[in-house]
Amino acid sequence: MRKKPLNYVKLAFPSRSANESLARSAAAAFVSQLDPTLEELSDVRTAVSEAVTNAVVHAYPEKIGTVEMILRLFEGGVIEVVVRDKGCGIEDVPKALEPTYTTGGADRSGMGFTIMESFMGSLSVRSKPGKGTTVRMRKVINRVR
């Protein structure tokens, strides 16, 4: 059974690119309760930015939809970030996870998932075409201090 989080925040916002920075700031504020290093804080900000940008760019290409972000704190300094949309979904998740693969054209580097995984340590992506995508990332903060 999953342990109950010690603390959590749920946010829902429209998939407008201006909200990318809002999501980063909210995640950074939530993580700050663990007294993270600047590097850890920067890692979380970057990973959240990638996940939310994916929802803005790919989940709702032709319209504005709702993006949900859930931040949870578990015992042992574990931070979980879930970014969820009810957009178009990903046809081929393993392909989407490959570095430099993108359907976003020259504006996108295709490095989003690679960076999320590298900066958070743990990443899972669940998606159903037509139903939406859920990205779940975990990171241990404050391991050695």
Partner 1 sequence: MRIAFHTAGTSCEIALIGELDHHAAKAALSEIHARLDQTLPSSIALDMRQVTFMDSSGIALILALYKRARALDGELRLRSLSPPVKRLLTAAGMDKLLDLSA
- Binding residues for partner 1 (CB under 8 A): 17-18, 20-21, 24, 39, 42, 45-46, 49-50, 53, 56-57, 99, 106-112, 114-115, 118-119
- Considering beta carbons, is residue 18 or 144 the nearer one to partner 1? 18
- Considering beta carbons, is residue 1 or 38 the nearer one to partner 1? 38
Give φ, ψ of 127 to 5 degrees: -150, 145
Give the integer Cα–Cα distance in Å for 75 and 70: 17
Q: Which letter does DSSP use for residue 1 in this model?
A: -
- Which residues are marked as active site? 50, 54, 108
N-to-C CA span, the chain: 30
- Considering beta carbons, is residue 100 or 143 the nearer one to partner 1? 100
